[in-house]
């Protein structure tokens, strides 16, 4: 029996025990031991938590009591205790479920002339449970249906399936820390974590056709929903030849072409392999629920995966080794991404180390760490001094401007606190208010940090001496001792993390006065005669090659370039020096979306499907080889985030001038 105690994680369990009708609820803070573990799945089933507490002479609660888990002051899980186990070790093992557990009770209800949102809201109301959040789903008319003694959760799954077939919109119904929520998975992207091998201990990949269907039959019924009229069948002959007959049957009492439309929609959705990844012992993240989309980049042996994937199941575990997760994620089209990701910047808080040309490692220039580094370097700090301060910011706030410590009130990048005679947190907010700054912005907090640094107290200990340091260990220790206020830096609990982060960024960026990538400077237009890889750091893998191709659901065409699969907002580079002939929404062919055309000597290169608003060049600009011209995205006719890259012998469109880019460049 081991008391749960993590240095860098404030874990608190609240149990609300009702002692009887009309009696006020009593709240306990039990001593947690061993571990806490909760599992959630993407089938609208209840989330299950198991945790163990010490049986002392104070706590007194029974089944049905409410359990609330808080991490660093934030509520992350709410449920109700269903089972208690005791043994001779004076500990109580509890099994609790979130409120979706109550939807497993049977229900009888007619659903007539309703939208998806209304149907689920009324169903949840049958259980006296509030549906607090419905976020941005399509207002489609749901096919009439009857629930006759089914579990409420089964009915909800039926409604979500019908919505998917009619509105082509994937929804998730889940309990978000005590709030029942209905939401599009497209709006549930995790943008604060990039799932690479460094984020996990192991992974397991599989491809399956166990839930694949290439023959769809709809049993058409009269309006009464009982009398059979006819069968409508839609099949994929090529798929049947490949995999054999895999049949799915459903019913419909809708008239006209609707049953056939439903069959075609189901075939499109179900006639494909299901590719699944199990990610093992991943760094914990309280924002991850089933139905979330996570960005995964892994080498799978025969292919390099770089794709958004939906979380099918996640198990969160907190024990004395830390906070971690086991996840099952899925996407039927690995290497592309989900069909229509929204516009938006994917920013990795923990940048992945990748190779760049000539200068070692490179990290996106407008990430928070790079913004801090560039700011401090621009204000006279050496590379070691800047990175030494960054080591503390990572340990204090994980580079978050809104991080808040519930125990001491620390806030922001440097976790400014109020102490007797030194109200630094109040000073931060007051300074930002008086200077018209947004207190949550990185730049505002850095400017306040510089304001503090220039005060006499810090100048006497740091001053110009600190700015000129070249030893990363001394820079990290001095910042921790004199700016953060720890008298013995290397004995501080988070010293290994501070020096580790500081050293990492120092080794990556010590040769830079400014981390490249945050801005694009004008080029000289010099043509070298050889084409370089068009994505920063060698990013991207070929997801569609040059020449004739066929895409299921899109038909066959002649692909006049190569598609390089990358996450949204990867930096796009000019393959060689030259002159920009066009930049913006393509007027020649709208399918390119936002694109750039560059003229070199005897060649032209085109970069398509780039992010709107990201272009750093305009028509007539001179560019140099390797210069950042914009960011990748998914604009135009695109099945997912990627860069379409072309090489041509002339500016004209069509197959006559296009050439295979791989004959001109090497990754």
Residue 626 contacts residue 574 (beta carbons within 8 Å): yes
Instruction: For residue 509, give the nearest of 626, 353, 310, 631 by alpha carbon.
Output: 353
Q: Within a 10 A sphere around the Cβ of 82, how many other Cβ atoms?
A: 15
**Residue 600 pLDDT greater than 50, yes or no:** yes
pLDDT tens digit string along 117-134?
A: 899 989 998 888 877 678
Fold category of 101-186 in CATH: Phage tail protein beta-alpha-beta fold (3.55.50)
- Mean pLDDT within 613-638: 84
CA distance 629 to 647: 16
User: What is the rounded end-to-end Cα distance, in angstroms, of the chain?
Assistant: 54
- For residue 32, the cross-strand partners are 53
152-167 and 258-270 helices cross at what angle (nearest 10)?
Answer: 100
The confidence score (pLDDT) of residue 520 equals 42
pTM (predicted TM-score): 0.49
Q: Please, which pLDDT band fits residue 445 given cuts at 50, 70 and 90?
A: very high
Q: What are the angstrom distances between the C-alpha of 75 and each of 10, 46, 78, 131? A: 12, 18, 8, 18
Whether residue 227 has pLDDT greater than 60: yes
From the number of C-beta atoms within 10 Å of its C-beta (0-12, 13-18, 19+), residue 5 rates as exposed
Helix (H) or strand (E) holding 157: helix 152-167
Name which of 286, 443, 495, 406 is nearest 415 in CA terms. Answer: 406
Chain centre distance of CA 102: 30
- For the cut 70, the answer to whether the pLDDT of residue 292 exceeds it is yes
Q: How far is CA 450 from CA 285, 379, 469, 638, in A?
A: 32, 9, 17, 45
Q: C-alpha distances in angstroms, 405 versus 64, 203, 409, 415, 486?
A: 31, 33, 5, 8, 18
Better-scored residue on pLDDT, 377 or 556: 377
Does position 346 have pLDDT exceeding 60, yes or no? no
E-assigned strands of 284-381? Answer: 293-299, 304-319, 322-330, 354-355, 361-362
User: What is the per-residue pLDDT for 476?
Assistant: 94
- The number of C-alpha atoms within 13 Å of 173 and in the hemisphere containing its C-beta is 28
**Burial of residue 473 (number of CB atoms within 10 Å: 0-12, 13-18, 19+):** middle
Contacts of 34 (CB under 8 A, 6+ apart): 1, 2, 4, 52, 91, 319
Q: Which CATH architecture has domain 366-509?
A: Orthogonal Bundle (1.10)
Residue 618 has a CB neighbour count (10 Å cut-off) of 11
Per-residue confidence (pLDDT) for residue 272, from 0 to 100: 79
DSSP string for residues in 406-434: TTT--BTTTTB-EETTEEHHHHHHHHHHH
Q: Which of 223-232, 407-416, 617-626, 657-666 has the lowest mean pLDDT?
A: 223-232
User: Which tokens go with 473?
Assistant: 């260990």
Helix (H) / strand (E) containing 205:
strand 202-208
For residue 483, the SS3 value is helix
Cβ atoms 220, 258 nearer than 8 A: no
Higher pLDDT, 254 or 452: 452
Q: Assess whether pLDDT exceeds 80 at residue 606.
A: yes
pLDDT-based confidence at residue 303 (cuts at 50, 70, 90): low
Mean pLDDT score, 396-417: 87
Element (H, E) at 32: strand 32-41
Instruction: Point out the least confidently predicted range of 324-333, 518-527, 641-650.
Output: 518-527
238: CB partners within 8 A, 6+ apart: none
Q: What is the pLDDT of residue 297?
A: 79
> Average of pLDDT values for 646-660?
78
Region 365-393: what's the mean pLDDT?
A: 85
Q: Rounded to whole angstroms, what are the CA distances from 603 to 579, 661, 664?
A: 11, 11, 10
Q: Contact, 156 vs 175, CB < 8 A?
A: no
Q: Which of 547, 478, 524 is nearest to 626 (CA)?
A: 524
Give bridge partners of residue 78 from the DSSP assignment: 68
pLDDT band at 409 (very low <50, low <70, confident <90, very high): confident
Per-residue pLDDT tens digits for 75-115: 999 999 999 998 777 899 999 999 999 999 999 999 888 98
Instruction: Report pLDDT digits (tens) over 506-556.
Output: 887 777 665 544 344 456 778 888 888 898 877 888 888 877 665 544 455
Locate all alpha helices (DSSP H) within 510-644, ordered by sequence.
Answer: none
What pLDDT band is residue 14 in, cutting at 50, 70 and 90? very high
**For residue 600, what is the DSSP state?**
-
Q: Considering only the top CATH level, what class is 536-663?
A: mainly beta
């Amino acid at each position: 029996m081991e008391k749960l105690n993590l240095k860098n994680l404030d874990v608190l369990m609240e149990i609300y025990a009702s002692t009887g009708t009309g009696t006020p609820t009593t709240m306990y803070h039990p001593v947690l031991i061993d571990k806490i573990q909760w599992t959630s799945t993407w089938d609208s089933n209840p989330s299950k938590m198991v945790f163990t507490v010490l049986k002392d002479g104070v706590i007194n609660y029974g089944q049905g009591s409410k359990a609330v888990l808080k991490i660093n002051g934030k509520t992350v899980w709410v449920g109700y205790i269903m089972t208690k186990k005791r043994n001779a070790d004076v500990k109580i093992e509890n099994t609790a479920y979130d409120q979706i557990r109550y939807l497993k009770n049977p229900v009888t209800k007619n659903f007539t002339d309703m939208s998806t949102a209304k149907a689920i809201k009324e169903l949840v109301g049958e259980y006296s449970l509030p549906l607090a959040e419905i976020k941005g789903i399509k207002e489609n008319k749901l096919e009439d249906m009857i629930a006759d003694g089914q579990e409420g959760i089964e009915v909800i799954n039926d409604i979500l399936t019908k919505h998917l077939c009619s509105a082509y919109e994937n929804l998730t119904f889940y309990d978000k820390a005590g709030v029942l929520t209905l939401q599009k998975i497209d709006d549930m992207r995790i943008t604060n974590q990039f799932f690479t091998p460094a984020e996990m201990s192991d992974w397991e990949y599989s491809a399956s056709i166990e839930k694949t269907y290439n023959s769809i039959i709809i049993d058409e019924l009269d309006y009464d929903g009982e009398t059979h009229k006819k069968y409508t069948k839609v099949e994929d002959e090529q798929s049947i030849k490949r995999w054999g007959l895999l049949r799915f049957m459903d019913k419909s009492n809708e008239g006209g072409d609707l049953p056939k439309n439903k069959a075609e929609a189901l075939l499109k959705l179900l006639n494909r392999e299901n590719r699944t990844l199990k990610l093992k012992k991943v760094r914990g993240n309280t924002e991850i629920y089933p139905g979330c989309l996570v960005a995964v980049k892994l080498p799978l042996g025969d292919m390099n995966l770089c794709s958004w994937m939906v979380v099918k199941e996640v198990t969160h575990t907190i024990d004395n080794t830390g906070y971690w997760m086991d996840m099952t994620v899925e996407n039927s089209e690995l290497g592309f991404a989900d069909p229509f990701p929204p516009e938006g910047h994917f920013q990795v808080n923990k940048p992945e180390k990748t190779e760049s040309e000539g200068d070692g490692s490179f990290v996106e220039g407008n990430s928070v760490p790079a913004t801090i580094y560039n700011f401090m370097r621009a204000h006279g700090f050496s590379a070691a001094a800047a990175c030494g301060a960054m080591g503390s910011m990572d340990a204090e706030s994980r580079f978050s401007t809104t991080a808040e410590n519930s125990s001491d009130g620390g806030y922001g990048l440097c976790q400014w606190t109020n102490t007797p005679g030194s109200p630094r947190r109040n000073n931060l907010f007051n300074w930002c208010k008086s200077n018209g700054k947004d207190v949550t912005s990185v730049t505002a907090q850095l400017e306040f940090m510089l304001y503090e640094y220039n005060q006499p107290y810090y100048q006497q200990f740091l001053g110009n001496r600190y700015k000129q340091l070249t030893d990363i260990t001394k820079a990290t220790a001095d910042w921790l001792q004199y700016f953060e206020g720890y008298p013995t830096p290397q004995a501080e609990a988070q010293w290994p993390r501070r020096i580790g982060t500081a050293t990492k960024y120092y080794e990556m960026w010590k040769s830079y006065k400014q981390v490249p990538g945050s801005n694009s400077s004008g080029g000289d237009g010099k043509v070298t005669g050889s084409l370089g890889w068009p994505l920063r750091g060698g990013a991207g893998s070929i997801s569609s090659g040059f020449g004739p191709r066929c895409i299921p659901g899109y038909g066959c065409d002649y692909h006049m370039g190569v598609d390089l699969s990358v996450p949204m907002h990867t930096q796009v580079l000019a393959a060689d020096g030259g002159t920009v002939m066009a930049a913006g929404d393509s007027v020649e062919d709208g399918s390119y979306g936002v694109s750039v055309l560059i003229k070199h000597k005897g060649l032209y290169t085109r970069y398509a499907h780039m992010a709107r608003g990201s272009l750093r060049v305009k028509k007539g600009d001179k560019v140099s080889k390797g210069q950042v011209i914009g960011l990748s995205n998914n604009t135009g006719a695109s099945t997912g985030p990627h860069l379409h890259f072309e090489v041509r012998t002339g500016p004209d469109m069509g197959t006559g001038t296009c050439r295979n880019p791989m004959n001109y460049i090497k990754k």
